[in-house]
Amino acid sequence: MNYQILKIQIADRIAVVTISRPAALNALNTRFFKEFNHFLDDLEPRDDVKVLVITGEGKAFVAGADIAEMVHMNSDEGYAFSTFGQRTFDRLEQLRIPVIAAVNGYALGGGCELTMACDFRIASKQAKFGQPEMNLGMIPGYAATQRLSRLTGLGNALYLILTADTISADDALRIGLVQKVTEPELLMVEVMKLATKIAGNGSQAVVTSKRIIRAGIAKSFQEASELEAIEFGRQFDDQATKEGMKAFLEKRKPEW
């Protein structure tokens, strides 16, 4: 596919996708979702990529769904626009490998929703978060009504969506929406350090942990713990687990 919005770099087991439509603050349109799904089609079967990083070009991460595209929609088109976005973000959330949002600037509306479909968020001090849809007389459409409360609790989700307030990276850190805040010029340095660290961990253990943590949300505590026990047992057939423990006992670095 001839990408017009996505810039993709893959090196040293890490894929970095930069959303690049800075003239519209990287607003998410149908073209973006087509390109992003195409990118996921290519990424999903690859064994050599261990971590995905998503960031934005310019002063925004993503300033929301594309208002210029939405303004002409009727209810059927609005529903299709929402479900296409939701399905894409579900797919991202369920990606086997960990996904880090490197939030360089505005992450508003659909942009904040995109960060929430990633596994965690590292933000520049300049980043701003929010669900400003109320200012447009609308509700969020890419699952903020569900993911925001799961990540930050009911009160914070209701507060952010009903007020449409935009919050700083430090406030986002305080409510658990963001895991780490960096100086703007250090954002990608910090994110690549984290990505490299995760890429260097036993890859099966990383992938299995992500899967169980995410699957557990939809299960009872007992069912989810049983899933953990099954996977915990299964890993003893895995050479990487044996090597990790042997390396510890032999006081050396594991060779994965």
Task: Report the interface residues with ligand CAA, using CB under 6 A.
Answer: 24-25, 27, 63-68, 85, 106, 108-110, 113, 132-133, 135-136, 140-142
The one-letter code for the residue type at 40 is: L
> How many Cβ atoms are within 10 Å of 248's Cβ, its own excluded?
11
Residue carrying the six token digits 């087991």: 13
133 tagged catalytic = yes
Q: How far is the CB of 113 from ligand CAA (least distance, A)?
A: 6
231 tagged catalytic = no
**CA dist., res. 6 & res. 35, Å (int):** 7
The one-letter code for the residue type at 4 is: Q
Name the region of 42 (left: φ>0; alpha: ψ -120 to 50; beta: rest): alpha
* Of 56 and 109, CB closest to ligand CAA: 109
Residue 241 main-chain phi, psi, to 5 deg = -70, -45
**CA dist., res. 28 & res. 50, Å (int):** 26
User: Rounded to the nearest 10 degrees, what angle do helices 154-163 and 144-152 cross at?
Assistant: 140
Residue carrying the six token digits 């949002």: 101
* Of 52 and 65, CB closest to ligand CAA: 65
Q: How far is the CB of 219 from ligand CAA (least distance, A)?
A: 28
Q: Please state whether beta strands 6-11 and 14-19 pair in parallel, antiparallel, or not at all (unpaired).
A: antiparallel
Q: How far is the CB of 66 from ligand CAA (least distance, A)?
A: 4
* Of 79 and 232, CB closest to ligand CAA: 79
Q: How far is the CB of 95 from ligand CAA (least distance, A)?
A: 20
Residue carrying the six token digits 């253990």: 205
- Choose the catalytic residue: 35, 69, 77, 133: 133
- Choose the catalytic residue: 57, 69, 113, 223: 113
Q: How far is the CB of 32 from ligand CAA (least distance, A)?
A: 11
- Residues marked active site are found at 113, 133
